[in-house]
Amino acid sequence: MAEENNWKEAELRRDDIKKLLENTKQLAEMYSEIIGIKKAGWENVLRSREKRAEKEKQNG
């Protein structure tokens, strides 16, 4: 076993941190997408309300 475990020059990485950052970033991106859809929905609601109010106004 000792023969196998020898010192080596190592290119160290931190995949744990990288993965955590990537996942958190993806979480933020997806959440952003969802609230974007929600925002568009509210904007539609608002526009249709305004149109309806305008029509009602025109119709007296």
Partner 1 sequence: MAEFSALLTAKAEWKPHQIAKAGDLATLAAAATALAETVKSTLKLASAGMEVVKLLSALQNINPLLMALEALADEVLKQIQDLKEAGYWYLYVDPYYEGNVTPTQKYNYGFEQLRNKAGKRIWEIKDDSGNWTDTTNIPTLAQLNEEKAKPHYTSPRKLIPGGFDRDNPLQDPLRSSSDGGVSKFPTFNTKEVIKEFVKAFDDEGDVPRYKLLGAVSDAPKAGEVVYDDDGNAYIGWNPKIDFGLELFDLGKASENGSTIKNYVAARKALNSKQSVGKPNILGNTEFDGGSGAIAIIIAASDFQSFYDVFNQFSKMFSDIPEFASDTGKNLLDALTEIVTPNKVTVKLTQVDTKYQSFIVGDIIGGKIYNSIGEIVEIIDGSVTPTLMIGRKAVGDTDDEGNITSVMEDYNMNPVDRWIDMEVIVNPIRNIDGLNPWITGDMVLEMEKRGESGNPEIRDDVFPNYVFKGQDTTELPKASRIYPKVAIVSMEKLMVLPDSTPPDFGGIKIKDIVPGWGEFFQLLENFVLQLKGMISDSNAFIQDMIDMIKQVEEFLEYMIKLIDEFLKFFQITLPSQGVYALYIPNQNGGNKGIQDELSSATGIPPLGYAAGLLFVGTEGDKLIAGGGSKNPIDLLALVLGLL
Binding residues for partner 1, rule: CB under 8 A, are 1-2, 5-46, 48-50
Q: How far is the CB of 59 from partner 1 (least distance, A)?
A: 19
> Please, which residue, 17 or 58, has the CB nearer to partner 1?
17
> Please, which residue, 3 or 60, has the CB nearer to partner 1?
3
CA-based torsion, 28, 30, 31, 37: positive or negative: positive
DSSP single-letter state for residue 12:
-
Q: How far is the CB of 55 from partner 1 (least distance, A)?
A: 15
- Rounded alpha-carbon distances, angstroms, from residue 34 to 28, 45, 47: 10, 17, 20
